[in-house]
Every structure is written in structure tokens, then in C-alpha cells.
Amino acid sequence: MSRQAEKEAFWLGRRVFITGCTGFLGSWLTAALLDRGAVVSGLIRVREPESELVRSGLISRITQIPGELLDYALLKQTLTDHHIDTVFHLAGQTIVGVANRDPVATFETNIRGTWLLLEAIRHTPTVRGAIIASSEKAYGEQSDLPYREEFALQGRHPYEVSKSCADLIAQSFAHTYGLAVAVTRCSNLYGGGDLSWNRLIPGTIRSILNGEQPVIRSDGSFRRDYLYVADAVRGYLMLAQNLTEPGVRGQPFNLGSGCPVSALEVVRTIVALSKNPEIQPIILNEVVHEILDEYLSPSKAEKAIDWRPQYTLAGGLKEAMDWYKAYLNS
């Protein structure tokens, strides 16, 4: 069997457990794993009818585990009963504004939920390894850019702190107990299926497709690193396939484009791709407790697993706009 054939056959029949499978990234990752022949079990707290996993019907092809991330007994039983080989931990509270309003619930889900899952993994011999989703927010505000994996994690506000803590806890389990764990720190993901309309890209696309002015909450100058969700999924799968390799095991990895763009640039790119080039954004300039510039260096992932983004911002946005157009028209 060729090396390429081995890569393609890796997931065939492999038993996978995903927390957050009905979320934006989770839906894409679940679809990719099913397409590769994996046997998927997913933890489902609430069956969201608008989840792409539900809308596409793919949810019927996985073993649905109803319950909470904070239920240790359920996590342990699921890993054992389903003979899980690989875990992808994506579940969490992901909205910065919600974290600021309700820090305790965010800390419970993002921090305690992570250590409970890792403890369940530690006591389940069948589990080969796990990918734990952190975020670029785990870095907090840094004086040097781009963010690199060796930087200290120094979140200050609730969401950032929750990701810094979960990230370090995952590394602690890897280094203390020898678990094959890798941590992903993704930049801002975008693509079809993200229905969080308060986010810049989904909200802007919906506004423009409806012939309305898009809204920028900041002054438009905040720079972020945007990554098309298909590139993120490819990174997750490549890391998972290499979890037991010395250069991956116990390591954090940035998954990002390395090319920061301002909110205003993103909106202008979407406008340029649309049929309404005369539309101008409304700039509210009301953002507080957010970092001005954030972007990642993906060089570690490039060296360790030969991963790099395949989509340009314009290319990813074009595919995303096609998805939203079909969704809104339906």
C-alpha cells in the first residue's frame, strides 16, 4: 500500500468520539470523518435543528450520545462501551460576549469540562489519543506578533482565561500521564454552517445578500487571522493521524493563515464578491475588552505535519457566500 493510500485508509473503521459534533466546526469534522469511513459517536447536549449536522441528515449516521460534558460517568461509559480510539474535544462556550456576561458557566464548561474528559481518557485503555480545541484567544494580548506556540498563555478576560486554562490542562495531562494529546489553537474560522450572525463574516454575508448595510462592531481597524473551516478540518485530521509521533504528542499547534486582515478589509472583500458593490458598512465602534490585533504563525504545523492553508480569504469567502445564498433562499 502506498503512503498516500495509507493516509486515505487511516480512518476506515476507526472509532471516534466528538464533543461538540453539532457545532459549526463539529459538523464539518463529523462529515469529513464519515466520508473517510470512521465510526463516529457524538456527545449531544441539545439537538439544534439548524445545526448543519442535523440539516444535512448526517446526524443519523452517527451514534448519538445525549448528555452533558460535565457528566464524568457518561464520558467514561461512552469511551469504554464504544471502544473509542480517537477523541476530538470541540465542545465549549465559544462566544466572547456570553463569557463576559456569565463567566462562571463559561469556566465550568470550558475548563472543568476539559479536565473531566481528559480524566476519562486517562482511564480508558482503548483511547489512542485526543485533539483538544483551544483558540488563539488563549494567548491573551501579546506584545509580539504573530503568536507562536512557545509564547506564554496570558488570557485576562473570561473567555481568554477559559481557553488558556483548558490549553494548559491538556498539556499537563500529556506531559504528566503520557497521553497522546495535541492542542489546536485556531484563528477565526468561517464557512458555511456558521449561523452565529453576530460574528463578522456570517453577519456581513447575510446583510449583503439581503441588500442591507453590514455592521462592524469595532472601528474596523481590528486585525484578525481568518481560516476557512475546510482547512481547519484538514489540520485536525492530520494532527490526529500523527498523535503518537514525538513532534506532535503533547504539543500545541497554531492553525491559521498567518495573514492578518482588518474587519473593514473583510467586509470590503465580501462586498467585492457580491453584486452590490455600492453597499457601505455601518461602523459602531463599540467594542470593549477585545484585543486589537491577533494573528498566528502556522510554521510549527507546516514543519511537523506539512499542513498549510489551501484557501485564500477570497476563495474561502466565495464558497461561504455560495452556501449562505443557498441556505437563505431555502
Q: Which residues are catalytic?
A: 159
- DSSP 3-state percent helix, strand, coil across the chain (nearest 5): 45, 15, 40
253 touches 243 (CB < 8 A)? no
19 phi and psi angles, rounded to 5 deg: -95, 140
DSSP letters spanning 56-115: TSGGGGSEEEES-TT-HHHHHHHHHHTT--EEEE--S---HHHHHH-HHHHHIIIIIHHH
- Please tell me what DSSP assigns to residue 152: P
Whole-angstrom CA distances from 7 to 11, 141, 194, 207, 239 are 8, 38, 29, 41, 12
* DSSP SS3 for 134: coil
Residue 213 to residue 281: CA distance in whole angstroms: 5
Cell matching residue 281? 458598512
254 phi and psi angles, rounded to 5 deg: -80, 130
Grid look-up 445578500 returns 209
Element (H, E) at 32: helix 24-35
Cell matching residue 61? 449516521
Among 224, 107, 108, which Cα is nearest to 159's?
Answer: 107
